[in-house]
Chains A and B, each alone.
Chain A
């Protein structure tokens, strides 16, 4: 029990370390990229004096490390700073978008898990009509269709033709919760489809290799039912690599949402991130990147904990490490 606590504590510490690391890297990146936030804010009509004065006001003429320390101080006192282009506190700008992006990610993640795992088991068990070539073609096609293409496609079919939602008009949950959910659902599908195909592929391979292991063969040769072996023993073990993969998928979903957000007109975090980068709105980018880092580390932590719950060998290994490191 003590070891487990220690392990969790260590992971939480690493979580914080990653966030700080990524914030520093972002800070460094902005020092090196071309483009200037002040010029971007003031546009083409600014005079040299205005540029200089604003630079002073924003503290951009301070030394690099000092600025970073300043940001870090703010971060620990829960102050993410003020956006350059909007002149509003960063948190006020991103909190709503964060909720939307999280909902989108979780919804598409739920779709991925709910569809791909049963589908993979089914595709393994039924060697009937969707085996061999048709299965492979469907699977490869699923992976080959890019999300932005699916996004356009859904807009046409479900949006413009069937009028199930209105592309470019996300009502917001306060205004119309049902319409918002439908809109979000289609966006989640766009994100989920290629990942469902990937997960099925992964899960299937995992099942096949697990079924060929000696313990399974022994169990079956002893007269156990194939189905029972699959359900009782194989499934659990086959899930371990898939969970790692799913954890990574969950980590990537928030960032990957940007294309779909753009095509379907959702005011999410990914879109805001890209716009803020093009405007060199450092405080906003900094905040979003740290949030993404948190999300990424949290996803892999969850994946690890679940794998360990399933596979005791991993748990022992992790605890041994947690105790020593």
Chain B
């Protein structure tokens, strides 16, 4: 046994050095019109009203739908509703229920189901199910096949919010174990921490999916997914790192590059010394070369950013802010001296240890800051601790994370920096910012709002609220022969578009 082990060690040394062709079993799945997709973390609740993990929403996008749904172009189109009318004053939305929409159990969707689904997320005793974004709703009324929703004030984000109120059968209580929605794929089975299986819903009202049966395999840990791809157990894996991608054989997998649609930054606690001083924050911005970060930790993938907005929101995105601070150690030093830190200072970067990209970014930042005389220490903490101590209690000096917008609006990215906002974990406090934010949120006109959003972005950059780094690249490994992968401006994986080339 021991001798065998020795032989094996030797075998590995030789094997690892030479590239091994992988004869994937993907061909078998292709012939049966099936698909295996690898995902890095388990689903939380399968009940659409309780799911909070981004990774769960990403996949169940294929199972559940709201009255309206997003497209890959960033538009919002009717789904369970066939038509949406917005009144002149922007206060009333009239939805017409689409005819012939069936739930996965075969029952037709009725107005009762719609009322039930929306009320649960807007105005019910179940706190965990409440969607805070629906608080603008004044009343919900059904009239035959139409649903009238009245708002207390006009809102440009309402449609994007109602998109997340998924339509489910009224009174159905088994969503957790046997979820039922209206999407192009229906739930088949689930084994916690192992897999989730869905199959094509043939009675889907819209364009149906191509692949008959899809297994989502949960493989935690960096190696699991790569091994799964190398062994041919998986046909598609999204959100890979550049270090994982280079381990794959280009003869078997194509690498598609999208964007994660998030703002990765060194977020600073603006209320804690020394980051309460704008000069120190600006010095950090001059000291950190974001392109260097991309080159060192991401193999050059990713889009550098200069503010809390990413390119997918092209309407709001102000590219000129990206290089507002050009890397300049002399300027950084001058600013630090002015602020009273001629010899630099010590700082801690708290990172959620389960996100390797953020940890790697922190490691590069330590090196870059060293050149500016700043001694940074990385402090990995587990995700739950990060959520409660950093994000919740705001007990941190600086942290690296990626902030997203889970619906199709830019509002979430900017609103969080208002000084009175509950999730402003960076404690950014700027009177001018608050004033523009108030104006922007109440703006009735889209053009005006866009201008105000851009002003907010500029404010964040000029005041060096945080050290903005990048919108991370979304690297997807797709098996040869599999087509139809489409990137969305939000975090979803649309499996109904995927198909095997015959």
Contact = CB atoms under 8 A, between A and B. Distances in A.
Interface of A: 34-37, 39-50, 52-54, 57, 85-88, 93, 96-97, 115, 119, 138-139, 141-142, 145, 150, 152-157, 159-161, 163, 166-170, 172, 193, 196-197, 262-263, 265, 267, 271-272, 275, 278-280
B425 to A, nearest CB: 9
Contacts of B406: 45
B15 A42 contact: no
B44 A85 contact: yes
Contact of B230 (A139, A160, A263): A160
Interface string B337-354: 000000000000000001
Interface centre among A43, A142, A152, A157, by most chain B C-beta atoms within 10 angstroms, is A43
Nearest to A85: B44
Given A34-B384, A53-B128, A141-B2, 10 more contacts: A40-B388, A50-B132, A138-B6, A154-B8, A160-B20, A167-B233, A169-B234, A265-B217, A265-B219, A280-B384
B246 interface: no
Contacts of A54: 127-128
23 contacts: A36-B384, A41-B52, A42-B52, A43-B54, A44-B391, A45-B406, A46-B52, A88-B176, A138-B2, A141-B5, A152-B223, A153-B12, A155-B227, A156-B15, A161-B15, A163-B23, A167-B224, A167-B228, A196-B1, A263-B227, A265-B224, A265-B227, A275-B193
Closest 4 CB pairs of A and B: A53-B127, A168-B228, A35-B384, A169-B233
B46 to A, nearest CB: 8
Contacts of B50: 87
Nearest to A140: B2
B381 to A, nearest CB: 8
B172 to A, nearest CB: 15
A160 B423 CA distance: 46
- In this complex, the member of B3, B127, B354 whose beta carbon has the largest number of chain A beta carbons within 10 angstroms is B127
Contacts of B25: 166
A48 B381 CA distance: 23
B20 A161 contact: yes
Interface of B: 1-3, 5-6, 8-9, 11-12, 15-16, 20, 22-23, 25, 36, 38, 42, 44-45, 47, 50, 52-54, 127-128, 130, 132, 176-177, 191-194, 217, 219-221, 223-225, 227-228, 230-234, 354, 381-385, 387-389, 391-392, 406, 422-423
A37 to B, nearest CB: 8
Nearest to B425: A44
B194 A170 contact: yes
Given A85-B44, A85-B45, A169-B233, A36 B392 contact: yes
Contacts of B16: 156
Contacts of B42: 275
Nearest to A193: B5
Contacts of A172: 191
Given A35-B387, A36-B388, A39-B384, A159 B193 contact: no
Nearest to B218: A267
Contacts of B52: 41-43, 45-46
Given A42-B52, A166-B232, A278-B354, A142 B2 contact: yes
A271 B231 contact: no
Nearest to B6: A141
A265 B220 CA distance: 8
Nearest to A139: B2
Given A167-B228, A196-B1, A157 B15 contact: yes
A45 B423 contact: yes
A48 B422 contact: yes
A267 B177 contact: no
Contacts of A46: 52
B30 to A, nearest CB: 16
Given A138-B3, A138-B6, A166-B232, A57 B384 contact: no
Which of A139, A155, A265, A280 is packed against the most chain B CB atoms within 10 Å? A265
Contacts of A139: 2
A96 B191 contact: yes
Nearest to B53: A43
Nearest to B125: A53
A271 B193 contact: yes
Given A86-B45, A166-B232, A39 B127 contact: no
Given A141-B2, A263-B221, A34 B15 contact: no
Given A168-B227, A168-B234, A35 B2 contact: no
A36 B387 contact: yes
Contacts of A87: 45, 47, 50, 176
A50 B128 contact: yes
Contact of A50 (B8, B127, B177, B354): B127
A39 B392 contact: yes
B446 to A, nearest CB: 24
B51 to A, nearest CB: 10
B9 A39 contact: no
